[in-house]
């Protein structure tokens, strides 16, 4: 019996991870976030009611699931407080089920200011970040200047560490960006107050996972962003600042590789991207606009319109290798219901060379030509279908082609935003 499942995005994020984690969470004992921060926007729809989560794991609507935030997540306590309060206002008991690792780096107010200042300074070359301070917070962690959650319960240590961090960042804000600096006393007070709100939730996540595993409990690891936004394997520098691929589960939750039994790679039936950077199969025509409209393609965190394009089997092939994908979950199949001819990028051409996986030198992405294969659309509604056999033949053919082209079997198909709009071909926990 499979015990632990990892859910990962295999494109540029927003593949529908939240929906799938929510529906799988009824079959597990704990759901764990292990990287990213509140740059994530994970949408859950249950009986028509929409919940958007940024930091709280997407198992929170299932009372049987403990929710954990591992050390790999950069945490804005202000954002977490808002999110927790909003959930509690809707009757969701967050505090009794949420645990946060004391080793989580804290996103501080200067991180957000620096994120904005840098993007502004980059002008046309901006990354298009979510502006949440994610990059600067991860930089502070790596430079060993970061404030961790545990520091907030040791005021003397916090005061000392904050002084060093703010000396540096206020200097950069003032002298490099010509911006207003932040008051040390104010930041210290606010941080101590926010820390106090979460003191009871501090949990040794790695230790807790070990305990759950020895009891034979099932654990679900919830990825944020997607493989193409990975700091090492993505379209650098147009990426996020964490590893979004499989290795981050071990480092960001504090478990060994034997903790992973099944990797579910989430992909849309087409492709989207928010922010700047290469997107070889991007559409600039009415078909792309139609997909954006039917798919309601606006970012769940920033509300920005998402760029839309055809499925990119070349990039998905790489994601399948990089993550050891056991099976794909194809989401938003219904969005293609009215597309007459559906194309899939099956290879890249770079100069005269044909590539079946993307190049690893990022600048080459700008010069790629895409080779496509065309598939006839099904031109009927698949919305809400829950049995594979009920899908139109052309949809079945498209999914079979995806399996053959992308290097892993399709185990689930999502046919609408609601939790119950799902086809389960093979359940990841079985």
Report, as residue numbers or ranges, the catalytic residues: 14, 42
Taking Cα atoms as reference points, which of 331, 323, 330, 326 lies closest to residue 428?
Answer: 326
Q: Does 13 bind ligand IMO (CB under 6 A)?
A: yes
Q: 181 or 302, CB closer to Mg ion?
A: 302
Q: Using the CB atoms, write b or e for 284-304: b if 16+ within 10 Å.
A: eeebbebbbebbebebbbbee
Q: How far is CA 374 from CA 63, 176, 394, 406, in A?
A: 44, 51, 12, 15
**Contact with ligand IMO (CB under 6 A): which of 62, 240, 326, 415?**
240
Q: Does 260 bind ligand IMO (CB under 6 A)?
A: no
**Contact with ligand GDP (CB under 6 A): which of 4, 5, 16, 77?**
16
Q: Could you tell me if 234 and 227 are in contact, meaning their C-beta atoms sit under 8 angstroms apart? A: yes
Give min distance, CB of 294 to Mg ion, in A: 18
Q: Does 275 bind ligand GDP (CB under 6 A)?
A: no
Q: How far is CA 93 from CA 29, 62, 196, 221, 328, in A?
A: 16, 10, 19, 21, 32
Q: Does 423 bind ligand GDP (CB under 6 A)?
A: no
Q: Does 414 bind ligand GDP (CB under 6 A)?
A: yes
Q: Which does 423 bind (CB under 5 to 8 A by kind): Mg ion, ligand GDP, ligand IMO, none?
A: none
Residues 281, 269: Cα–Cα separation, whole Å: 13
The tokens describing 358, both together, are 């993307």
Q: Which does 331 bind (CB under 5 to 8 A by kind): Mg ion, ligand GDP, ligand IMO, none?
A: ligand GDP
Residue 193 gets the label, from left (phi > 0), alpha (psi -120 to 50) or beta, of alpha
**Contact with ligand GDP (CB under 6 A): which of 19, 54, 169, 233?**
19
Q: Could you tell me if 100 and 69 are in contact, meaning their C-beta atoms sit under 8 angstroms apart? A: yes
Binding mask 35-64 for ligand IMO (x = CB under 6 A): ----xxxx----------------------
Stretch that binds ligand IMO, among 169-177, 224-232, 390-398, 408-416 (CB under 6 A): 224-232
Residues 43, 301: Cα–Cα separation, whole Å: 10
Q: Does 132 bind ligand IMO (CB under 6 A)?
A: yes
Number of residues that make up the chain: 430
Q: 292 or 395, CB closer to ligand IMO?
A: 292
Residues 296, 379: Cα–Cα separation, whole Å: 19
**Contact with ligand IMO (CB under 6 A): which of 4, 51, 76, 130?**
130
User: Which residues ranging from 84 to 123 are in contact with ligand GDP (CB under 6 A)?
Assistant: none
Provide the binding-site residues for ligand IMO, judged by CB under 6 A.
9, 12-14, 39-42, 127-130, 132, 134-135, 224-226, 229, 240-241, 274-275, 300
């Amino acid at each position: 019996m499979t015990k632990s499942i990892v859910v990962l995005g295999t494109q540029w994020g927003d593949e529908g991870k939240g929906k799938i984690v929510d529906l799988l969470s009824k079959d597990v004992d704990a759901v764990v976030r292990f990287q990213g921060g509140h740059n994530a926007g994970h949408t859950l729809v249950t009986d028509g009611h929409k919940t958007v989560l940024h930091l709280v794991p997407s198992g929170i609507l299932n009372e049987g699931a403990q929710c954990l935030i591992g050390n790999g997540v950069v945490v804005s306590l202000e954002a977490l407080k808002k999110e927790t309060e909003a959930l509690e206002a809707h009757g969701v008991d967050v505090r009794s089920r949420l645990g946060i690792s004391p080793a989580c780096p804290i996103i501080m107010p200067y991180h957000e200011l620096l994120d904005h200042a840098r993007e502004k300074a980059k002008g046309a070359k901006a990354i298009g970040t979510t502006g949440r301070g994610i990059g600067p917070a991860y930089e502070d962690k790596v430079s060993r200047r970061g404030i961790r959650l545990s520091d907030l319960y040791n005021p003397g240590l916090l005061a000392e560490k904050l002084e060093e961090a703010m000396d540096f960042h206020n200097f950069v804000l003032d002298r490099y960006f010509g911006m207003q600096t932040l008051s040390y006393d104010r930041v210290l007070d606010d941080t101590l107050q926010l820390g106090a709100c979460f003191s009871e939730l501090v949990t040794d996540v790695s230790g807790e996972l070990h305990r759950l595993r020895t009891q034979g409990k099932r654990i679900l690891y919830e990825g944020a962003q997607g493989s193409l936004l990975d700091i090492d394997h993505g379209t650098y520098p147009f990426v996020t600042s964490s590893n979004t691929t499989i290795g981050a589960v071990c480092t960001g939750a504090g478990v060994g590789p034997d903790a992973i039994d099944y990797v579910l790679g989430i992909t849309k039936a087409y492709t989207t991207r928010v922010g700047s950077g290469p997107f070889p199969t991007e559409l600039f025509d009415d078909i792309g606009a139609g997909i954006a409209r039917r798919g309601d393609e606006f970012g769940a965190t920033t509300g920005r319109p998402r760029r839309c394009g055809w499925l990119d089997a070349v990039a998905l092939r790489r994601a399948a290798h990089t993550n050891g994908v056991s099976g794909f979950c194809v989401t938003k199949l219904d969005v293609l219901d009215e597309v007459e001819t559906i194309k899939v990028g099956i290879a890249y051409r770079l100069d005269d060379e044909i590539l079946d996986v993307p190049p690893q030198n990022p600048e080459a992405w700008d010069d790629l030509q895409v080779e496509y294969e065309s598939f006839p659309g099904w031109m009927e509604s698949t919305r809400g279908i829950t049995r594979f056999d009920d899908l139109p033949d052309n949809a079945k053919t498209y999914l079979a082609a995806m399996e053959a082209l992308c290097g892993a079997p399709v185990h689930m198909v999502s046919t609408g935003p609601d939790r119950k709009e799902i086809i389960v071909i093979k359940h990841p926990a079985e």
